[in-house]
Amino acid sequence: MADEKKTRISVNIYGKTYTIVGSEKSGHVQQVASIVDEKMRQLRDRNPALDTASVAILTAVNMTNDYIKLQQDYEQLEEQLKKEKD
Amino acid sequence: MADEKKTRISVNIYGKTYTIVGSEKSGHVQQVASIVDEKMRQLRDRNPALDTASVAILTAVNMTNDYIKLQQDYEQLEEQLKKEKD
């Protein structure tokens, strides 16, 4: 998260409390934490034998995959907008 | 990752091997894994006391944060495109 005007926000993810340091608003940080918590629990439900670190790593993999795909969609949309303007 | 035509791809993240089951191409999965590995190592370098699970959870938090922001940017761009077309 960004660096200006740092705040410290406590969130609970997968049964443990983490302090998130950043410039984001508390509501936003809580929303992000609750998405990660939910995605980790869904992944654990599908793979009950996984330890916490593996659940978290595979959740990060899924989020990164989603991010890259959205980034490609974003670039396509930018391209389309450029064409509309021409 | 998606469900059609499942493949099993082995990746190494943070010193451990994971099998990713999905429909993505090997090169894409390797790219995603290497982003997660790099982001985890950067986070660990800034917070050497964190255990692997915490490093992975906070990496997932950062990726989710980036995803939500990109999603907002995407929606704005869609809105702009809609206006251009009107």
Q: How far apart are CA B29 and CA B65, in angstroms?
A: 21
Q: What is the mean pLDDT of residues B31-49?
A: 97
Q: Do the Cβ atoms of A61 and B36 come within 8 Å?
A: yes
Smallest CA-to-CA distance from B46 within B37, B55, B56, B33 is with: B55
User: pLDDT, tens digit, for every residue of A24-74?
Assistant: 899 999 999 999 999 999 999 999 999 999 999 999 999 999 999 999 999
Q: Do the Cβ atoms of A67 and B63 come within 8 Å?
A: yes
B44 CB neighbours in chain A (<8 A) are none
Strand partners, B7: B22
- Nearest Cα residue in chain A from B81: A81
Nearest to A58 among B18, B51, B74 (CB): B18
Tell me the pTM: 0.89
* pLDDT score recorded for residue A4: 63
User: pLDDT, tens digit, for every residue of B46-76?
Assistant: 999 999 999 999 999 999 999 999 999 999 9
Query: Rounded to a whole number, what is the distance in Å from the CA of A45 to chain B's nearest CA?
Result: 16
ipTM of predicted complex: 0.90
Q: What does the mean pLDDT of chain B come to?
A: 92
Residue with tokens 């609970």: A12
* pLDDT score recorded for residue B48: 97
C-alpha triplet A64, B36, B24: angle, nearest 5°: 50
> What are the structure tokens assigned to A16, written together?
């443990």
Q: Which residues on chain B place their C-beta less than 8 Å from a C-beta of chain A?
A: 1, 11, 13-14, 16, 18, 20, 24, 28, 31-33, 35-36, 39-40, 51-54, 56-68, 70-71, 73-74, 77-78, 80-81, 84-85
Q: How far apart are CA B6 and CA B75, in angstroms?
A: 31
Query: How many residues belong to chain B?
Result: 86
Is residue B6's pLDDT more than 60? yes
Q: How far apart are CA A69 and CA B35, in angstroms?
A: 14
